[in-house]
Amino acid sequence: MATLPYLPHTQADIRAMLDRIGAKQLDDLYSDVPSEFLKKGAYALPDALSEQEIRDFFAALEAQNARLKVFVGQGAYDHYTPSVIPYLTQRSEFLTAYTPYQCEISQGTLRYIFEYQTLMCELTGLDVSNASMYDGPTAAAEAMKMAVSCARKKNRVLLSKALLPHVIKVVETYAKFHGVEIGYVPAPDGQTSLEALQAELAQDDVAGVIVPSINRYGIIEDHSGFADAIHAEKGLLVEYCDPSALAVVNTPGEWGADIAVGDGQPLGLPLCYGGPYVGFMTVKKEHMRKMPGRIVGQTVDKQGRRAFVLTLQAREQHIKREKATSNICSNESLMALWVTIYLSLMGPEGLKEVNKISADGAHYLKAELLKTGQFQDVFPDKPFLKEFVLKPKKFPGQLQKKLEEAGFFAALDTEEGYVSFCVTEKRSKEECDQLVKVVKEG
């Protein structure tokens, strides 16, 4: 058997260590395990591969995946990633560190989290950010729990039916087990209905309401009057947002929201089949002590120099155990670094330009697709940025297949029988024209 390069123990090392312990052989170190639990016989695993074999293996596996131009969003957006980001996030001082428990030798991690918190507050227009959550849907689920915890006696949380489907499903799962009742606010004309919301609020049991800043149809929602209506009933307004789009659309703070959540993926994270992404949460200052997750704060060291530490830990599981605000421990720190570097590189102008090119591209594609006569516009008067839905005039299965064959992932089916498209700054006008050509020929 070849030596595994990750294991430095020589036979002489093992012998010397066993002698020091007073054991004859390695098996003696398991003398406290009842013998019936010691695995007998070989494990059903393949033989060990060398590094070159591993490389070849994954090259073959990778080739089995389709490589398509992505014209779909629905919670995962194919934005451009500057090459600086993977380069810097691969630095092993960041990559191979644990949670920054020993702050004196973790100032790198603590500083970038502090920068990340600042950036997320800036984008969302709220006061306090945590260090990150798993992804957007789980961040929404945490916001649901937080709303109930802040409201004390009220135990119902309303979800807009225009939230992305996967967000609704995850919140429902958490709610079922946490004992929270879920209600729904319809969005009959492509926008969460204020009237329907008010009717639900009148039942006097609503702890919070989660609405999308930009919804599953790609529509930029108008939340005028939402915060007032919800606050009048002592509930919390939670805005689910695409943080990239917050460069150009109303912030949760401007809508009067108490909590903003969402997925940081559109900020330059690779699609990577759904993860790792990074959930974010920002809140108004008065809710700071109810917020889940790690938080980094600024202080000084003994010499009076600026220093950063994990703070407000009395909220957390390792102190409060079953009384903690959440069970979250590991989060998505490295992806928060990714987002931080992305926003630093793009700056205000870059982020606005990303939105501009994406929106221009999406409006162009939508107009060209409508010209083919094969789709109906569903929400003709509603404003959108990079994502939109159309109603196909015939069953879209064959079209989708044709698009795949031509190298496009586009026209994703929705629950409502629409097809969804998305254009980011990575898609060129030529690619849009080619896609439309395939549709025409279809």
Partner 1 sequence: MKYYDKLIFELSKEGRCGYSLPVNKFPAAPEVPQQLRRQAPLRLPEVSEPDVVRHYTNLSQMNFGVDTGFYPLGSCTMKYNPKINEEVAALQGFAGLHPLMHAGLTKGANKVYQEMNKALAAITGMYTFTFDPCAGAHGELTGLMIMRTYHMMRGDMARTKVIVPDSAHGTNPASAAVCGLEVVEVKSLENGRIDVEALKPLLGPDIAGIMMTNPNTLGLFETEIKTIAKLVHDCGGLLYYDGANMNPLMGVVRPGDMGFDIMHLNLHKTFSTPHGGGGPGSGPVGVAKHLEDCIPDLRVSGFHGNFGVILRAYAYILALGKDHLRQVGQYAVLSANYIKECLKDVYKLPIEGVCKHEFVFDGLINDGAHDDVPGATTLDVAKRLLDYGFHAPTIYFPLLFHQALMIEPTETESKETIDTFIEVMRKIAAEAARDPNILHDAPHNAPITRPDETMAARNPILKYEW
Nearer Cβ to partner 1, position 72 or 162? 72
Check binding of 185 to partner 1 (CB under 8 A).
no
By CB under 8 A, the residues from 55 to 94 that bind partner 1 are 55, 57-59, 61-68, 70, 72, 74-76, 78, 80, 82, 84, 86-88, 90-94
CB of 82 to partner 1, least distance (A): 6
What are 329's two structure tokens? 């421990």
| Type of residue at 222 | D
Pick one of 183, 350, 407, 442: the residue that binds partner 1 (CB under 8 A): 350
Q: CA-CA distances (angstroms) from residue 74 to 145, 158, 215, 271, 432?
A: 24, 21, 9, 12, 19
Task: Tell me which residues in 208-267 interact with partner 1 (CB under 8 A).
Answer: 220, 222, 224, 246-251, 253-254, 263
Taking CB under 8 A as the criterion, the residue among 49, 199, 202, 232 binding partner 1 is: 49
- Of 192-200, 225-233, 306-314, 369-377: span binding partner 1 (CB under 8 A): 306-314
Q: Which residue has the tokens 């946490």?
A: 178
Does 286 contact partner 1 by CB under 8 A?
no
Note whether 317 and 331 are within 8 A (CB): no
Q: Select 233 or 263, whichever has its Cβ closest to partner 1.
A: 263
Query: Is residue 188 involved in binding partner 1 (CB under 8 A)?
Result: no
Smallest CA-to-CA distance from 154 within 190, 232, 208, 226 is with: 208
DSSP structural state of residue 202 = T
Quote the crossing angle between the two packed helices 333-371 and 107-124, to the nearest 10°. 40
* Eight-class DSSP state of 48: P
Question: Distance between CA atoms of 322 and 106, rounded to whole angstroms?
Answer: 28
Residue from 186, 188, 225, 274 touching partner 1 (CB under 8 A): that is: 274
- Return the residue of 153, 322, 415, 441 that touches partner 1, per CB under 8 A: 322
Decide whether 232 or 314 has the Cβ nearer to partner 1. Answer: 314
Provide the 3-class DSSP secondary structure of residue 229: helix
Nearer to partner 1, 13 or 204 (CB): 13
Q: What is the dihedral of CA 131, 211, 209, 164, to 10 degrees?
A: -80
Range 122-141, binding partner 1 (CB under 8 A)? 122-123, 125, 128-129, 131-132, 134-138
Among residues 312, 426, 434, 413, which one has the least CA distance to residue 365? 434
Query: What distance in Å separates the CA atoms of residue 277 and residue 243, rounded to the nearest whole number?
Result: 13
Indicate which single residue of 209, 230, 339, 359 sits in contact with partner 1 (rule: CB under 8 A): 359
CA torsion through residues 432, 433, 436, 438, sign: negative
| 147, 294, 384 from 265: Cα distances, Å | 24, 20, 19
Binding to partner 1, residues 389-428 (CB under 8 A): 404, 409, 412, 425, 428
The residue (of 183 and 350) whose beta carbon lies closer to partner 1 is 350
- Pick one of 186, 188, 297, 397: the residue that binds partner 1 (CB under 8 A): 297
Q: Using CB under 8 A, which of 193, 364, 406, 434 touches partner 1? A: 364
